[in-house]
Amino acid sequence: MKFELTILGSGSSVPTANRNSAAQVLNVLERYFLIDCAEATQHQLRRFHLPYNKISHIFISHLHGDHFFGLMGFLSTLSLQGRRGEMHIYADPRLQELVECQMRITRSRLGYPLCFHALSRQEEVIYEDKVVTVTAFPLKHRYEAPVCGFLFREKERERTIVKEQAEAWKVPIAFMQYLKQGADFITPTGEVVPNERLTVAPPPARSYAYMTDTLYRPCFADYVKGVDLLYHEATYQNKEIALAKETRHSTAGQAALLARTAGVGKLLLGHFSARYTDLTDLLAEARDVFSNTFLCSDGYRFELPALKRNV
């Protein structure tokens, strides 16, 4: 039942002794999704004891080095370790060219299939299975590197049948599926048994959104309305707002404004410029606008618990 995020890199384009560039892993019920893959991501996966062999889906936000320079090394290591299962990569279509070019020149072969999925410049579902959907949505960075955010949303689960009650009311086996979907039960004598007496609701579906390397645009809040957890870049503080605009990044204050507008549960800040050795002011600036804000560090883990619902 886990829904857990691990930050592998919380810095921006220049890695420091304490902060790697962008990468993180989201574990949704033992599905491990790698989001961005900066240099040394494979080292960070080992360092923080993540089962990297279980990663089968990699989402790359855009083609700047601090978000994908670790990809080739990671893919290569998996091959050397005997991986056979498919690896799916969701990215700007030019990433396929880049990877294939490196492999051609170095005469490398991977021992498993690579499946590329091109991100478009539209909001769209790019992955779906029984428990989760992943939606990509366009943000605004530099011309040469179109960027996407990603929204991971757990699917609503079915209601759980209370066995003793179902037996007491002699609910036929064939009707159980309808009970799980919320139907009331009508007995052969016409008595209506409300569904709530026969089942319990599943925990609310959880959600996580990743927004990095983007200018602040109030309308981007629409993509992430009400998500439980939002990671947003905060490369700069508000006092460097001109620089943020010039380099097409956001400030901590802007990230907090977006979180407040979107009504998210919790905000995580990352992608900090290497110029900051102390992030106290940056955090304070964000908390002034959105109090439930926290700073990411490498190795930071955050689990969204499955909350109980009573009805």
- Applying CB under 5 A, which residues contact Zn ion? 66, 213
State both tokens at 200. Answer: 């319990």
Positive or negative, the CA dihedral 215, 218, 224, 226 is positive
State both tokens at 96. Answer: 């396929």
Residue closer to Zn ion (CB basis): 19 or 206: 19
Instruction: Confirm if 89 and 117 have CB atoms less than 8 A apart.
Output: yes
Residue closer to Zn ion (CB basis): 78 or 209: 209
CA distance 234 to 251: 5
Q: Would you name the residues annotated as active-site residues?
A: 66
CA distance 180 to 34: 33
Q: Cβ 20 to Zn ion, closest distance in Å?
A: 12
Q: Cβ 167 to Zn ion, closest distance in Å?
A: 57
CA distance 172 to 176: 7
Residue closer to Zn ion (CB basis): 213 or 285: 213
CA-nearest of 21, 20, 25, 49 to 35 is 25
Q: Cβ 138 to Zn ion, closest distance in Å?
A: 16
Q: Cβ 24 to Zn ion, closest distance in Å?
A: 13
Question: Which residues, other chains included, contact 218 with Cβ-Cβ below 8 Å and sequence gap of 6+?
Answer: 257, 258, 261
Residue closer to Zn ion (CB basis): 213 or 298: 213
